[in-house]
Structure 1
């Protein structure tokens, strides 16, 4: 990763250095009240993230994803992100995080709390990083008192930027961008990048969060890391492929973008400078779409909102169309691999096509798990998806030869045109899972968890 920040936009630099405190509405400590009083505009703009209520069911929109993620919790429920104010409540209620497990049993790792709340770094200091990650997600639910706010980004009580999460500190050191050695501009990007970044749970370290940047942060570099250590997140139940999962790699894509080369960061576009009722400048913490604040974000470089909107829409349509093509090819490849296994194929025959599926799906996921790829780095998005098409096409060519060799002349491709049909294909009982989740919410979350876990879900 090679980032040159020799051109810094004034609006960007201003947005970074102005004190920015976003505190939980339920906070009662003296310091929180002091911060709220000292930075009321930042606080109130953060509260406005509660207005960002729209949530799209992405499995309903793209049911092929259910097949690609079969065998993982991502196939249960997957939605578009909402405002920061919903971070704790949404992760508490989503089907992916499940329900409580019996005492002494291992459930979902508490690492899933890592980027949702400043209570995560607090608990890591108290329990140790591995002690925290070894705990069950639901067991620590009652400990989560607040959602993303000031101490996630700043030294508490000051405007000084901070990087409180150990996995982010370690990752920036790996790519030779240690936080304390960076400009304020780059520190601002890293503050966002501590969470808007891909990661995995490190199995040999009690499932602690780790960013796989030993060789670098590109899809190729991360794939090399995973392949070298023979890592996989789950074995696909249809094709028997050892699957990799990407998680919102916005920092990685941005770091290689034209915007990054010009010193334009997440803060420049998504947290622009604003004025309060008295004309005082402050940083807007209603993190949102850059075009909504075109004059304060984009106008320094782009003269026409209409032109940039058209360009973004074109890139989005092209990338989306290419992504749907990859999904269709991968779905067929998974079922062709199943047919080959059922026909008696051996690992000696199947290794190459299975690895082709693994690598193709990794690149598709590395592109599509990134929110706003078409704006952040469309060039990389196209390159990832083009390579994914090449890899899965080769995999299917090899599978066709294997199917012929083992005497299989017909492959059944089930109807997955809707979310419900795709769930039926993988044997997921959505109604049963939802009932179990609803019971858990009623008996545990509503009664024993903090109000932050109910924000937006109050009855």
Structure 2
């Protein structure tokens, strides 16, 4: 087990320059062999650093700040970047905060789980719950590499692996144990160990858990959460016990036409490529499928323009529904607040609050999934249509409660911009950024491996 003194010793070693940095991984024998044996794959993996652009999703969709009020997601939420940025982005984002005083509980180290192969290593050393019970910042000095070969392959081999315990458990729950699957499904599961929704299990020291006891649909997962009376946080405006979805790409894909046809994440996002000598290899840059149309899509689709137009139509229609749900939910949260302020009781409010909970869950399960427009647009529409019905019913119930309590006017905030929405929930972004930068300067820059600064050091 890794003890606090070990962490401090590691910090000291880093400050003295004794530990290998990410750029010096070639000193490791196994890694050196990987680079030589799988040179093309390695070079294409390095190219994920070219995928550096990202979008501020809170600025793009400020109403989501109100929906996520009371959680770290209302502080900062960006579109994903290339695998090379995984450690640096989770280090620098406002959601992960700063260090806490020794002996106090901060953000769980579980936040490292899918960012680095050091996470499975630490789980083996500390035990899964020992790892998750540690503080995120306290293990920062132990993180020396980013999403890498051993996250997906058995060490030194092209054979696929599923090193994360939460993924092994989840696949067993839905009767798809990794060792019983063919290579095609194993490839999808390897991606699905991280591109999947999850939560931190409070009774197990915040270890990562995938909630598939009843199945992997939004309805099944909701049933699991409702049965356990689980919530991520209590919404500070409406008092709703909120559920949070986290990029459920595997779930959406598993019910798609692509899945039925045996087309997986690997097929579209890691297509075969050819090097200068004519040797074929799997491209590990993990890019947009349409960038490699001829090798990914052409076998089934005759026209790239047709696919692009179809995807644009899916995106337009799904986005329109999502904005409608967000607008309705913002109003519902503040209507609930007005009711509580007027003296409402739980017997009066329960059905409306559950309507908000369930509607927001389906909105989140749709919109937190990267690539929904391509992966499973039909399910996206179904989720948002149901969310609209649920929040509409919740607002009708709230209207009855407000009338009963003689509330004639509800104050709705202006959420037209990120700044206005964050002001409405009382979040001081400037102060949070100041604290974060102090943490970066005093801890990360001094003691953490350079992998924690990729994309932030220029």
* Pairwise TM-score range, normalised by the shorter structure: over 0.9
CA distance in 2 between partners of 1:112 and 1:25 (Å) = 23
| TM alignment of 1:91-240, pairs within 5 A | 91-240=90-239
CA contact (8 A) 1:241 1:354 kept: yes
In structure 1, the residue matched to 2:375 is 376
* Partner Cα separation in structure 2 for residue 262 and residue 160 of structure 1: 23
- The equivalent of 2:275 in structure 1 is 276
Paired residues of 2:22 and 2:450 also in contact (CA < 8 A): no
CA shift at 1:414, angstroms? 1.0
Alpha-carbon spacing, 1:312–1:109, altered in 2? closer, same or farther (3 Å): same
Matched residue, 1:327: 326
**Contact 2:87 2:451 (C-alpha < 8 Å) held by counterparts:** yes
Instruction: Quote how far apart the aligned CAs of 1:34 are.
Output: 1.0
Distance 1:440 1:403 in 2: 46
Distance 1:39 1:158 in 2: 9
- TM-score, structure 2 normalization: 0.95
For 2:311 and 2:75, locate their aligned partners in 1 and report how far apart those are by CA, in whole Å: 30
Q: What is the distance in 1 between the residues matched to 2:276 and 2:402?
A: 70
- Residue 68 (str. 1) matches residue 67 (str. 2): yes
Residue 285 of structure 2 corresponds to which residue in structure 1?
286
Q: Hey, what does 2:449 align to over in structure 1? A: 450
Q: Which residue of 2 aligns with 1:313?
A: 312
Report the equivalent of 1:344.
Answer: 343
Q: What is the alpha-carbon distance in structure 2 between the residues aligned to residue 250 and residue 430 of structure 1? A: 30
1:3-14 pair list within 5 angstroms: none
Question: Once the two structures are superposed, what CA deviation does each residue of 1:198-222 show, in whole Å capped at 9, x if it has no partner?
Answer: 0000000000000000000000000
> 1:38 deviation in Å?
1.1
What is the distance in 2 between the residues matched to 1:392 and 1:288? 36
Aligned length: 437
Deviation at 1:26, TM superposition (A): 3.7
Contact 1:107–1:136 at 8 Å: present in 2 too? yes
**SS at 2:300 equivalent:** coil
**CA RMSD, 1 decimal:** 0.8
Q: Secondary structure in 2 aligned to 1:409?
A: coil
- After the TM superposition, which segments of 4 or more aligned residues of structure 1 sit over 6 Å from their partners? none
Q: Map 1:247-286 onto structure 2 (within 5 A).
A: 247-286=246-285
User: Is the Cα–Cα contact under 8 Å of residues 109 and 132 in structure 2 kept in the other structure?
Assistant: yes
Shift of 1:416: 1.1
SS in 2 for 1:140: helix
CA distance in 2 between counterparts of 1:221 and 1:438 reads 41
Unpaired segments of 5 or more residues in structure 1? 1-22
Q: Report the 3-state secondary structure (helix = DSSP H, G, I; strand = E; otherwise coil) of the residue aligned with 1:209.
A: strand
- Where 1:99 maps in the other structure, the secondary structure is coil
Q: In 2, Cα distance between the equivalents of 1:26 and 1:412? A: 57
- CA deviations 1:176-211 (Å, max 9, x no partner) are 000000010000000000000000000000000000
Structure 2 unaligned segments of length 5 or more: list them. Answer: 1-20
Quote the offset at 1:443 in angstroms.
Answer: 0.6
Q: 3-state SS of the aligned residue for 1:274?
A: strand
